[in-house]
A and B are shown apart, each in its own frame.
Chain A
Amino acid sequence: MSQVEDQLAQFVVFILDQERFALPVEQARGIERWRNPTRIPGTATAIMGIINQRGVLLTVVDMRVVLGMKPITPTRRSRFLLVHEQIDCAIAVDQVIDMLTLDVGLAEPTPHRGTVASRGLLPTPFGFATWLDLNALLGSING
């Protein structure tokens, strides 16, 4: 049995409906204040609309809906987490907590939300945060 070595990586930790989630900083391009997206009726329920981010149109994704939670209600703490993966988009989150260096070697299996959305539970100073599999989540929006 191989020894588990410490693997430190930086994550953006944020809140969705009182639960903590984490994304690697390599997938995050920035954090922006909330502004009402331009709505586009007839799209997937998780798509809130689009915003202009310095001349680039970005799709706003309600990650709560993607994860099966109730839709986000914007507050003064709500933010857009700009992410860069196979596609660029803005994820609507209830609150960004911090950028933290976390030990992925300590990740524990996720007891819920299946294997598609989560890569494990990461211990943080605020409690466990679910390490999201962004590609799988974004791929599930229109699937």
Chain B
Amino acid sequence: MVNPVIVSDLYPVNVGDQTVLIRQTALVGVDYVANSGQPISSVVQQTNPIDVIDLNQWLQQPIGQQANRLALFVVGQTAMGVVVDQLGDPISTALSLQPLPSLVSDSLLDPSILGIIMLDERPCLMLDLELFVLVHAKR
């Protein structure tokens, strides 16, 4: 029997009605961006435009009604970030990272999806944000 992988020090990220979990250490900065209701592809950070991946678009989730959304800047990635609806309070509790069901993992080509964590009995994707940006920046 495979022992479950235990992870801690995460941020919950709200993307539509879904929650994605990322490591706290993956973030180097957070900034507000005006919410136009449309997917965002770039933001301005210290007068420099930076390409971003809109996680709502990636997850096919509706964009929230709030005035501002959040751009997350990723450690080691100065040229690419992600945009989400909201960032939740940090979670320091140790959580169990479960593998994806075989029917899913057999067809999944994205190595940045690490597995599933149950949060309030809801399955949430755990993302390796640094790898996610690398993988999706090439596309």
Contact present for A41 and B58 (CB under 8 Å): yes
Contact present for B110 and A41 (CB under 8 Å): yes
Task: Verify if A40 is at the interface (C-beta below 8 Å from B).
Answer: yes
Contact present for A59 and B103 (CB under 8 Å): yes
Q: Could you say which residues of chain A place their CB within 8 Å of the CB of B107?
A: 43-44, 47, 141-142
A interface majority secondary structure:
mixed
CB distance from B4 to the nearest CB of A (A): 12
Which residues of A in the span 41-63 have a Cβ within 8 Å of any Cβ on B? 41-44, 47, 50-52, 55, 57-59, 61
Task: Verify if A3 is at the interface (C-beta below 8 Å from B).
Answer: no
We find that the number of chain B residues with CB closer than 8 angstroms to chain A is: 25
Contact present for B109 and A57 (CB under 8 Å): no
We find that the number of chain A residues with CB closer than 8 angstroms to chain B is: 22
Task: Verify if A12 is at the interface (C-beta below 8 Å from B).
Answer: no
Q: Could you say which residues of chain A place their CB within 8 Å of the CB of B101?
A: 50, 57-59, 87, 89
Interface residues of B (CB under 8 A from A): 17-18, 58-61, 98, 100-104, 106-110, 113, 116, 118, 121-125
Given A52-B122, A57-B98, 18 other A-B contacts at CB below 8 A? A38-B18, A38-B116, A39-B18, A39-B60, A40-B100, A40-B108, A41-B58, A43-B108, A47-B103, A47-B107, A50-B116, A57-B116, A57-B123, A61-B103, A87-B101, A138-B103, A142-B103, A142-B106
What are 27 of the A-B contact pairs (CB < 8 Å)? A38-B123, A38-B125, A39-B18, A39-B60, A40-B100, A40-B104, A40-B125, A41-B58, A41-B60, A41-B110, A42-B108, A42-B109, A42-B113, A47-B104, A50-B100, A50-B101, A50-B104, A50-B116, A52-B118, A52-B121, A55-B118, A57-B123, A59-B101, A61-B103, A89-B103, A142-B106, A142-B107
